[in-house]
Structure 1
Amino acid sequence: MKPALIAAAVLAAISWGLWLLLPWLLKRRGVVARRTRFGLALVFDSSDADGTPVRLLSVNGVYQSICYTAPDLLWEPVCAYHRAFADVLAGSNLHRALVIGGGGYSFPKYLVAHTRRLLVDVVEIDPAITELARDHFYLDELIAGFCGADDDPVEVPCDIEGVVSVEQDGRLRLVEGDGWGYLTAQEAGLYECIVNDAFSGKRPLGPMETGEGARRVREHLAPDGFYLANVRSALEGRHAGPLRECTEAFGSTFSHLYLVPDKPETPEKVGYNAFVATDRELDCSRFGGRRLK
């Protein structure tokens, strides 16, 4: 056998051996690894800039969620754009909210824990992600504490294209299916708040950046309701396309648009920006935002 072929065989064997050892090595370092629809998911503990313990979810190399692990902080938002969402909604009289994209269920947990009698529907397309949220991001603890621990979950009939199952657990309804399909179905009903926190790779939920997406949101939003979106975009320059698209699409449908920028000091860098569309006049100073329309 030629030396080059022998070297290639040895390298292949080493690579295969390392791949087989990877789960064991990750577990030894306190990392949970699980296969999901969109790639390998990793769950691991770290700390924020202030040294507060946090837990992170990364899927296929992209951070999807983060939460605090201290018992007194479990339901508080860690991400800046989630905190901006919370500030925008402060004092609002919410009865029903829809969150598209579960991930670690960070913002749904905040809504359920901090708003009495609020019913929250969460649409997550990947059941493996929801299981990770149950096992490692305190979703089951939230349900036990706020959603009626004495009641068994109820399977809810739902004939919506792209939706696999719907499970009602007290004030939280877990929908396994496609967020766009759920939103465009007439059965979805009206919400005072619709949150788009779903994205695949580096882009938000595709159709939601279009005029059709804006119109569908408006159809299912109560008068003076809020549409909140995590828009991963630069504020200026060649990487600002997603923000420009959202502004154009929702500006033709809603009276007011607001933005809480992630990186205002470096506008050409991509950040996670809190985008707000509503027909309600808001005081930007209350949530640190700027008016887009």
Structure 2
Amino acid sequence: MYNDKIEIESPYGHITISYGRHDKHRVRVLDIDGGMESATYIEEELQNELLFEYMYLFDLMFDENYLEDRQINDVLLIGGGVFHYPKYFLAHHQGNIDVVEINKVLYDISNKYFYLEETINKFDKNKNRFHCYFENGRDYIKRNKKKYDAILNDVFIGENLVLELHSLEAIKRIKESLNPQGIYITNIIGSLSGKYSQNIKNVIKTLKQCFKYIYVFKAQEKNEHQKRQNLIVVAVDQEVHFNIVSYHNINQKRYHQGMIDHVDDIDYTNGRILRDKNLL
């Protein structure tokens, strides 16, 4: 059973589901057009745990130094994939999560092969914590009237930025969709310095037009700044000294000097403000 490969056509690419191992655990992996999109543990007790280190940093919205007297009640995730983080969120946190995913086929696959339905039935019995909208992320934020405490962006075409969700026009819409003092977190693939750093420079320069403070985290603290990797960018309107209490529960209550880089430590002088006039 676990050696079989499943092939599925979708409007947004050819999907392959295969099997492998991660840290000695069996996993089910989903690829789109040959690139890995997501995965899940197969063992029941691990099905709602995260495989990907960068997703732990989405939990920066729960950092005690950011929260203070706030609560995270309503979260928006743009880019559901096979709903890896939403499953984790439902199982480990209180509050509600809305997900925007353009490819409805992935939702059906997630229910059948990636345990989404089981997670919803267990942690959202009243069907009021999790909602999914099958549309383009840009269209959703353009029409959205709801206010969120946190907005997460995890949308890619391969490893490339989706410009329409990182443009100045899009960031303005995202900021308008946040409650006062809300937090925006986005996943960028690139490097902090060197030849793969242009993406992060452009994103920072654009975000600074709308938010007062920008922070950048490497998903893996040991990675060199020049290495192409997952970078988690946090945009807020107040200075925060993150404790990163949720990061693998390692060194709780400690500020990770090696992991966090304030935007002032990044030379983004040759960055450019991203624009997408089609959003208006």
Q: TM-score band, normalised by the shorter chain?
A: 0.7 to 0.9
Report the TM-score, using the length of structure 1 for normalisation.
0.77
Q: Is the 8 A contact 2:137 2:165 kept in 1?
A: no
Alignment of 1:99 onto 2:99: no
1:285 Cα deviation after fit? 4.5
Measured in 1, the distance between the counterparts of 2:171 and 2:62 equals: 20
- Pick which of 124-133 and 64-73 moved more: 64-73
Partner deviation per Cα, 1:217-239 (whole Å, 9 max, x = no partner): 11001122111111011222222
Measured in 1, the distance between the counterparts of 2:136 and 2:48 equals: 26
1:283 Cα deviation after fit? 1.8
Measured in 2, the distance between the counterparts of 1:55 and 1:200 equals: 21
2:149 to 189, 192, 197: 192
1:130 Cα deviation after fit? 1.0
Q: Is the 8 A contact 2:96 2:130 kept in 1?
A: yes
Q: Is the 8 A contact 1:55 1:67 kept in 2?
A: yes
Alignment match, 1:205: 162
Report the TM-score, using the length of structure 2 for normalisation.
0.81
State which structure, 1 or 2, has the greater radius of gyration over its C-alpha atoms.
1
Percent of aligned positions with the same letter in both sequences? Answer: 24
CA 1:280–1:112: 2 relative to 1, 3 Å: farther
Partner deviation per Cα, 1:222-259 (whole Å, 9 max, x = no partner): 12211111101122222212111110011121111111
Alignment match, 2:102: 125
Alignment match, 1:135: 112
- Of structures 1 and 2, the one scoring higher in RCO (CA 8 A, sep 6+) is 2
Measured in 1, the distance between the counterparts of 2:194 and 2:230 equals: 16
1:113 alignment partner AA: A
1:40 Cα deviation after fit? 1.1
Q: Is the 8 A contact 2:3 2:19 kept in 1?
A: no
Q: Is the 8 A contact 1:108 1:120 kept in 2?
A: yes
1:280 Cα deviation after fit? 3.2
1:128 alignment partner AA: V
2:175 to 202, 209, 218: 218
Alignment match, 1:19: none
1:106 Cα deviation after fit? 0.9
1:42 Cα deviation after fit? 1.1
Measured in 2, the distance between the counterparts of 1:90 and 1:119 equals: 17
Measured in 2, the distance between the counterparts of 1:192 and 1:128 equals: 28
Q: Is the 8 A contact 2:217 2:260 kept in 1?
A: yes
Measured in 2, the distance between the counterparts of 1:108 and 1:126 equals: 16
Q: Residue 27 of structure 2: SS of its match in structure 1? A: strand
Alignment match, 2:254: none
1:79 Cα deviation after fit? 0.8
- Pick which of 220-229 and 90-99 moved more: 90-99
Unaligned runs of 5+ in 2: 248-258, 265-280
1:269 to 227, 240, 251: 227
Alignment of 1:177 onto 2:146: no
2:37 to 44, 58, 64: 64
Higher helix share: 1
Q: Residue 177 of structure 1: SS of its match in structure 2? A: coil
Q: Is the 8 A contact 1:231 1:272 kept in 2?
A: yes
1:75 alignment partner AA: N
Q: Is the 8 A contact 2:61 2:150 kept in 1?
A: no
Q: Is the 8 A contact 2:63 2:243 kept in 1?
A: no
RMSD (Å), alpha carbons:
2.0
Alignment match, 2:263: 292
Partner deviation per Cα, 1:161-181 (whole Å, 9 max, x = no partner): xxxxxxxx4211111111111
1:290 Cα deviation after fit? 2.0
CA 1:115–1:124: 2 relative to 1, 3 Å: same
1:135 Cα deviation after fit? 0.9
Measured in 2, the distance between the counterparts of 1:175 and 1:130 equals: 10
1:87 Cα deviation after fit? 4.1
1:74 Cα deviation after fit? 1.7
